[in-house]
Amino acid sequence: MRKAKIYIPTKTAMQSGRGKSKSWVLKFKTKDTGTNPLMGWESSDDTLGEITLVFSTKKKAIDYAKKNNIEYELVKPKKSSFIIKSYADNFLKD
């Protein structure tokens, strides 16, 4: 049975906005990874590890996994709290 992980990807350090963090991703877990003795790279015979499916909602991703008999792990997104600061706060002494 194939195994996959369903999650919302986090934003990269190069992004300041949250534009692409609204879609859900189904990514297959790779199996039988090993190190290539010649180059030292990690390699695998499993081609499903290269596939990433993007869905607009969590429900659509779960329905797809159930319909295709994919065992999935659901990773819930963490809520980040924003600290609202003013630029002037950098120069004020406590």
Model-level pTM?
0.69
Q: How confident is the model at residue 20, as a pLDDT? A: 62
Look up tokens 């429900």; give the residue. Answer: 59
Residue 64 pLDDT exceeds 90: yes
Q: How confident is the model at residue 78, as a pLDDT? A: 81
Q: How confident is the model at residue 73, as a pLDDT? A: 95
CATH architecture of the domain 3-90 equals: 2-Layer Sandwich (3.30)
CA distance 12 to 43: 25
Q: In 3-state terms, what secondary structure has residue 59?
A: helix
Which long-range CB contacts under 8 A does 55-64 form with residues at least 24 apart?
55/23, 55/24, 55/25, 55/26, 56/22, 56/23, 56/24, 57/24, 58/6, 58/24, 60/24, 61/6, 61/24, 61/25, 61/26, 62/6, 64/26
pLDDT band at 34 (very low <50, low <70, confident <90, very high): confident
